[in-house]
């Protein structure tokens, strides 16, 4: 799949409705690496394995769960992706972002995304939360390349405020009230799968990024194209300070993400409860 076709989105949305006749979601949620626990808090009305949804990508190799968890959370109807797709796995940008189209087609006006990321800002600590305020796309890819169907969104979407300012403010307010350290920051996306060189970290910091990761930007581009509001979170799982760099292990990244997960859950639940429809 190299670009989104309206007919495919429609077919996938119909299949979800088939499995979940009771729900009209207003919020779509994409959970990042090690951050899946939030899905356990949803009062579930349907869980739909990705292979049941036409045109949805699914992982044949990995033991990822790969399912949509649909139901209510903090009084709102939500659909959450348990298992997300990364470019480094070999999926196209269109495949990675197809689920966002389906969320929009089903009624979601808001997308909440999270990820585990490397910290470039020397004032941040491991386990801190970053409310994403803006991003830099260094993927060399874009899910919006290709013929544009105006039913999905405009040819040249603007990115003046890709991350909704009011939702950012609410998230930061909730963080303060809950005694959780959260910063506002810029996320830069790279494809991975390797972590970056010292020279690359120095470069990424110099161009204005606070956190670096291998996801999120494709999904956000499609959400903005589709007219959705976006709220994005990074968890700083490792520090990427070029002059004091330590080797990172993926186990360590997962451990830090797991430990910080509760903070993210607290904030997301509160935000959903207080954001209104
Ligand atoms: N670089 C890219 N992605 C990451 C990193 C990193 O240092 N840490 C967690 N995800």
Three-class SS of 125-188 = CCCCEEEEEEEEECCCCCCCCCCCCCCCCCCCCCCCCCCCHHHHHHHHHHHHHCCCCEEEEEEE
CB-count burial class (<10 Å; 0-12, 13-18, 19+) for 24: exposed
Instruction: Kindly report the pTM of this predicted structure.
Output: 0.95
What confidence tens digit (pLDDT) does each residue in 109-147 have? 999 999 999 999 999 999 999 999 999 999 999 999 999
Judged against a pLDDT cut of 60, whether residue 61 lies above it is answered with no
Look at ligand 1, atom 7, and give the residue with the nearest C-alpha: 118
Report how far ligand 1's centroid is from the alpha carbon of 253 (Å). 8
Among 117, 130, 239, 247, name the best residue to mutate to test ligand 1's pocket (greatest count of ligand atoms within 8 A of Cβ).
117
- The CA–CA distances, whole Å, from 208 to 186, 188, 219 equal 7, 9, 21
State whether the beta carbon of 221 lies less than 6 angstroms from ligand 1: no
Short-list 218, 219, 201, CA closest to 210: 201
Report how far ligand 1's centroid is from the alpha carbon of 266 (Å). 23
Q: Domain for residue 186, yes or no?
A: yes
Report how far ligand 1's centroid is from the alpha carbon of 194 (Å). 9
Contact 125, 236 (CB under 8 A): yes
Which residue, chain included where needed, has tokens 């670096």? 212
Q: Domain for residue 1, yes or no?
A: no
Q: Domain for residue 204, yes or no?
A: yes
**Pairing of β 182-189 and β 67-73:** unpaired
d(CA 192, CA 36): 21
Judged against a pLDDT cut of 80, whether residue 224 lies above it is answered with yes
Report how far ligand 1's centroid is from the alpha carbon of 137 (Å). 15
pLDDT at position 58, please? 76
State whether the beta carbon of 103 lies less than 6 angstroms from ligand 1: no
Q: Domain for residue 230, yes or no?
A: yes
What confidence tens digit (pLDDT) does each residue in 227-265 have? 999 999 999 999 999 888 888 888 888 889 988 999 999
**Total domains in the fold of the chain:** 1
What confidence tens digit (pLDDT) does each residue in 65-87 have? 789 999 999 999 999 999 889 99
Report how far ligand 1's centroid is from the alpha carbon of 241 (Å). 12
| Angle between helical axes of 93-106 and 217-225 (0-180°, round to 10) | 40
Report how far ligand 1's centroid is from the alpha carbon of 118 (Å). 4
The two counts, helices (H) then strands (E), for the chain are 6, 9
pLDDT at position 227, please? 98
Residue 121: strand, helix, or coil: coil
Atom of ligand 1 nearest to the CA of 238: 8
State whether the beta carbon of 195 lies less than 6 angstroms from ligand 1: yes
CATH code for the domain in which residue 155 is found: 3.40.50.1580
Q: Domain for residue 40, yes or no?
A: yes
Domain range for 258 is 6-275
pLDDT band at 37 (very low <50, low <70, confident <90, very high): confident
If you average pLDDT over residues 40-68, what whole number do you get?
A: 85
């Amino acid at each position: 799949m190299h670009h989104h076709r309206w007919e495919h989105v429609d077919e996938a949305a119909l299949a979800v409705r088939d499995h979940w006749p009771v729900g009209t979601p207003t919020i779509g949620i994409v959970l990042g690496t090690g951050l899946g626990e939030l899905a356990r808090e949803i009062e579930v009305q349907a869980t739909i394995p990705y292979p049941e949804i036409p045109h949805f990508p699914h992982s044949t190799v990995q033991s990822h769960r790969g399912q949509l968890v649909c139901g209510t959370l903090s009084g709102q109807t939500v659909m959450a992706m348990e298992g997300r797709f990364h470019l480094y796995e070999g999926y196209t940008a269109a495949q990675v972002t197809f689920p966002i189209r389906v969320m929009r087609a089903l009624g979601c006006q808001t997308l909440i995304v999270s990820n585990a990321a490397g910290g470039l800002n020397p004032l941040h600590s491991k386990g801190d939360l970053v409310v994403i305020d803006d991003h830099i796309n260094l993927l060399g890819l874009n899910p919006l390349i290709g013929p544009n169907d105006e039913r999905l969104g405009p040819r040249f979407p603007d990115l003046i405020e890709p991350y909704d300012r009011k939702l950012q403010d609410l998230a930061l307010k909730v963080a303060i009230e809950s005694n959780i350290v959260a910063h506002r920051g810029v996320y830069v996306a790279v494809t991975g799968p390797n972590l970056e060189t010292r020279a690359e970290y120095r470069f990424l910091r110099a161009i204005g990024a606070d956190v670096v990761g291998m996801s999120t930007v494709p999904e956000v581009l499609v959400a903005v194209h589709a007219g959705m509001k976006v709220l994005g979170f990074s968890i700083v799982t490792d520090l990427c300070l070029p002059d004091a760099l330590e080797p990172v292990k993926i186990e360590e990244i997962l451990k830090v993400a797991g430990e910080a997960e509760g903070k993210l859950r607290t904030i997301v639940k509160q935000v959903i409860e207080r954001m209104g429809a």
